[in-house]
Structure 1
Amino acid sequence: MNNTALIPESSLDFLIQLKENNNKQWFEAHKPEYLNELKHIEAFADALLEELAKTDVLETPSGKKSVYRIYRDIRFSKDKTPFKTFWGGSFTRATKARRGGYYFHLEQGNSFLAGGFWGPNAADLKRIRSEFAHDAEPMRKILNSKTFISTFGTLQGEQLKTAPKGYDVHHEAIDLLRYKQFLVIKRFEDNEVLNPDFLEQATETLKNMRPFFDYMSEVLTTDINGASVL
């Protein structure tokens, strides 16, 4: 593993200061500190991308390109603070055959790794539900596996309070049919993020998403008969 990809305590500390001084004047005065900490995050993202690329195909060209801008888009937000108070980034799985993506979020007391489908469009959501209704067992097998439970616990994401249109509330797969988002998340304590083996833990966590991703990719690139739609 890459020893230059450690997350230093100063990277989390900078975010605490930014949260307390979320204004352009303070940020400009501390821009050199920000750029220094950003280098650490980009190095971590580069190393994580390198590890993921050993077992998956990703279209994100570099760790630097994966890291989100610190500047918030406040045009349509009631919250007018100009800066994000976390380090975040994502890696997109390449080609239409590999659906979904990986995400990392680093913040004091709120660090996590996640993956899945945050806002599936209507057609994708319809296709996923049709598959669950037809045969939910493959998905249940993934969600009930020891690795999934020990890493992520349960499938997460917004759910309907009742059955989606066209499905009976007593359908045997109603628990899965209610999902509007399909997310897998693992949270980390600050001491874990700052630990020298965090890159290894992060890599293992994201690799453990693969059965979920592979299943969802297959569903979203085939019709209900299993024929390719690509």
Structure 2
Amino acid sequence: MYRDVRFSSDKTPYKTNMGAYLNKGGKKSPTAGYYMHVESGRSMAGGGLWMPMAPELSKVRQEIDYNYAEWSKIIGDRNFKKVFPDGLEEEEKLSRPPKGYDDENPAIEFLKLKSFIVTRTFTDAEVQAKSFLKEIIKTFQAMDVFVHFLNRALE
């Protein structure tokens, strides 16, 4: 849209993907939600809370700490693990426990996370299949309790 390719030798489009993010608070809200990304060779669906600001991150960590049994049940659910076999993304993670938490805390590996997201990738063939919508719905249903837990922490 903002890339004028009329006089450029590189005619690749500005954007080669389509994405949609749905959450209960709208576009600017810091709440957890559902995300779908369609791009040739890189399609995926996922959701959660990506890189929240410090106040929201603190609330989520506190909720996980106080309700670790419930969190473990959500993350350990058979269907959740089947849809998201890699579990939570750990791209950004603290090397030491966050301030106010002990290294012996049973939830410490989750408390070190800076984002709370899960993803499921799709091949181009899966995206083009008639069953793609059902698979997206199945993916979002599998993370529903996870997203609600995160949003409850932010209330």
Provide the TM-score with structure 1 as the length reference. Answer: 0.57
Aligned ranges for residues 179-198 of structure 1 at < 5 Å? Answer: 179-198=113-132
User: 1:179 Cα deviation (Å)?
Assistant: 0.7
Structure 2: where are the runs of 5+ without partners? none
Residue among 64, 88, 91 paired with 1:155: 88
* Alignment partners' CA distance in 2, 1:26 and 1:206: 43
Structure 1 vs Structure 2: percent identity of aligned residues? 33
Contact 2:37 2:45 in 1 (8 A): yes
User: 1:188 Cα deviation (Å)?
Assistant: 0.7
Matched, 1:214 2:148: yes
Aligned ranges for residues 36-185 of structure 1 at < 5 Å? Answer: 83-94=14-25, 99-153=31-85, 154-157=87-90, 158-185=92-119
With over 3 angstroms needed to count, the CA separation of the structure-2 counterparts of 1:134 and 1:90, relative to structure 1, is closer
User: 1:93 Cα deviation (Å)?
Assistant: 2.0
* Alignment partners' CA distance in 2, 1:88 and 1:135: 32
Q: Point out 4+ residue stretches in structure 1 off by more than 6 angstroms.
A: none
Structure 1: where are the runs of 5+ without partners? 1-21, 31-80, 222-230
Contact 2:49 2:150 in 1 (8 A): no
RMSD: 2.5
Greater fraction of residues in strand: 2
Contact 1:109 1:189 in 2 (8 A): yes
Provide the TM-score with structure 2 as the length reference. Answer: 0.83
Contact 2:65 2:107 in 1 (8 A): yes
* Alignment partners' CA distance in 2, 1:134 and 1:101: 22
Larger Rg computed on CA atoms:
1
User: 1:150 Cα deviation (Å)?
Assistant: 0.4
Aligned AA (2:46): A
Structure of greater relative contact order (alpha carbons < 8 Å, 6+ residues apart): 2
Q: Could you say what secondary structure the match of 1:179 adopts? A: coil
Q: Could you say what secondary structure the match of 2:104 adopts? A: coil
